[in-house]
Amino acid sequence: MATIDIEKFVKQYGPVRALHAVDLHIEDGEFVVLLGPSGCGKSTMLRMIAGLEEISGGVLRINGKPMNDVPSRDRDIAMVFQNYALYPHMTAYDNIAFGLRRLKVAKPEIDRRVRQTAELLALGAYLDRKPRQLSGGQQQRVAMGRAMIKTPQVFLFDEPLSNLDATLREQLRVEVKKLHMLLRTTTVFVTHDQLEAMTLADKIVVMRDGHVEQIGTPREVYYAPASLFVARFIGSPPMNLLPMQVAPNGMQLAADGLVITLDPERAADLHPGQLVTLGIRPKDLRLAHLQSGTDRHSATVMLTEMMGAETLMQVRLGNTELIMLVDDRDTAVTGSTIEIAFAPEGLRLFDAATGKAIASRRISRVA
């Protein structure tokens, strides 16, 4: 069990800076997901924690102890790699036992723990096989077993599910979650898949170009994105984003004939004439008869996609196309005109110039 403190992490590759003074505190037993598009520095950061990449600047502490100069073999960390990284010349059994052999654990004890781990991961029948005789999912389970068996202080996962097909990915995601609930080992998990991040994380760190955009619970990053980047990156279907301007009275947003009235508390953060981006999740665009007390807008249904219990509707409002997600029973026919309303609690405002959320702190309290 361990806490991890990252202070002003910098990674420099020659003239290129891959990480810009990143700070992060990870609680004991916490499941933290580093999320971002490729090249954002998330894997680099993970490898710096593991000791596989040199720390160009800043301090890494595990349980309060500085780790910068400790080689990876002495950090008591286990890592699961994207391409599994199993030892091809060893059986699944030996792959899992390899770390314990180094610790000079007695043979019967190794055997007991390997079998116990294999049981937990449903690998019992495959222990005698070499990695190339195993499927991708089985290989990744062996890799997880190899990481678990040492009962390390910290688990690191580097996009462990991205080489698997969709069904397996879902299965293993659940297994990772269960394992964490069982073992409560401090975990850092890297992914570019926002759904994986949302389902697994206690805390999500959204990264972009070597900077941290937002740190928060899955709810916080979903409902109160700190920036336009986070708003675009999190959520599927994505958040609707509309460029608008604050009206002279300071109480309304206007664009293209579309006028949205704000509640006074929200309007207090704005000044007349300010350019903003309005964000609203597809679920918070409602059919007007289901939402009382707000402005109604006429919109044309352009396209509907039945997704099961819900239907995704692409509607045109003035010159803007919006996506809304409605209960399938409320769906409208393509080409028809419907009345829609913006749920006030779903409105998010971003400064158009900086891309940062306006008053997100107050909203995050709501979330």
Least CB distance to other proteins at residue 59 (A):
21
* Contact map string, positions 143 to 182, toward other proteins, x by CB under 8 A: ---x---x--------------------------------
141 contacts: CB under 8 Å, gap ≥ 6? 121, 122, 123, 172, 175
Tokens of 304: 């509907």
Residue span 85-114 as binding mask against other proteins, x where in contact by CB under 8 A, dash where not:
xxxxx--------xx--xx-----------
Q: Identify which of residues 85 and 168 has a Cβ nearer to other proteins in the complex.
A: 85
251 near other proteins, judged by CB under 8 A = no
Tokens of 256: 């293209």
- CA 48 to CA 319: how far, in whole Å? 48
Least distance (Å) between residue 185 CB and other proteins: 14
Half-sphere exposure of 187 (CA within 13 A, CB side): 30
Q: In 202-280, where do the E strands start and end?
A: 203-208, 211-216, 240-246, 252-255, 258-261, 275-280
The two three-digit tokens of residue 265, written as one number: 């508390």
Choice between 113 and 281, CB closer to other proteins: 113
Q: Are 272 and 249 in contact (CB under 8 A)?
A: yes
By beta-carbon proximity to other proteins, the closer residue of 101 and 289 is: 101
User: Any idea which residue has 């664009």 for tokens?
Assistant: 255
- Select from 81, 170, 175, 291 the one that contacts other proteins (CB under 8 A): 81
Question: Smaller CB distance to other proteins: residue 52 or 352?
Answer: 52
Q: How far is the CB of 144 from other proteins (least distance, A)?
A: 12
| Stretch of 72-80, 213-221, 334-342, 350-358 lying at the interface with other proteins (CB under 8 A) | 72-80
With CA atoms as reference, report the closest residue to 348 among 257, 231, 203, 207: 231
| Shortest reach from residue 79's CB to other proteins, in Å | 5
- Shortest Cβ 98–other proteins spacing (Å): 6
Binding mask 21-50 for other proteins (x = CB under 8 A): -----------------------------x
Closest separation between CB of residue 76 and other proteins, Å? 9
Minimum distance of other proteins from residue 208's CB (angstroms): 26
Number of chain positions touching other proteins (CB under 8 A): 24
ω before 237 within 30° of 0 (cis)?
A: yes
Q: Which two tokens stand for residue 296?
A: 């109604």
Query: Binder to other proteins among 15, 71, 264, 335 (CB under 8 A)?
Result: 71
Residue 181, token pair as written in the block: 């609930």
Residue 1 to residues 27, 30, 182, 200, Cα–Cα distance (Å): 10, 10, 13, 19
Name the amino acid, one letter, at 173.
Answer: R
* β-strand partners of 158: 190
Distance, CA of 173 to chain centre? 13
Q: Using CB under 8 A, which of 22, 78, 207, 258 touches other proteins?
A: 78
Q: Which stretch binds other proteins (CB under 8 A): 1-9, 20-28, 81-89, 326-334?
A: 81-89
Applying CB under 8 A, the residues found at the interface with other proteins are: 50-52, 71-75, 77-79, 81, 83, 85-89, 98-99, 102-103, 146, 150
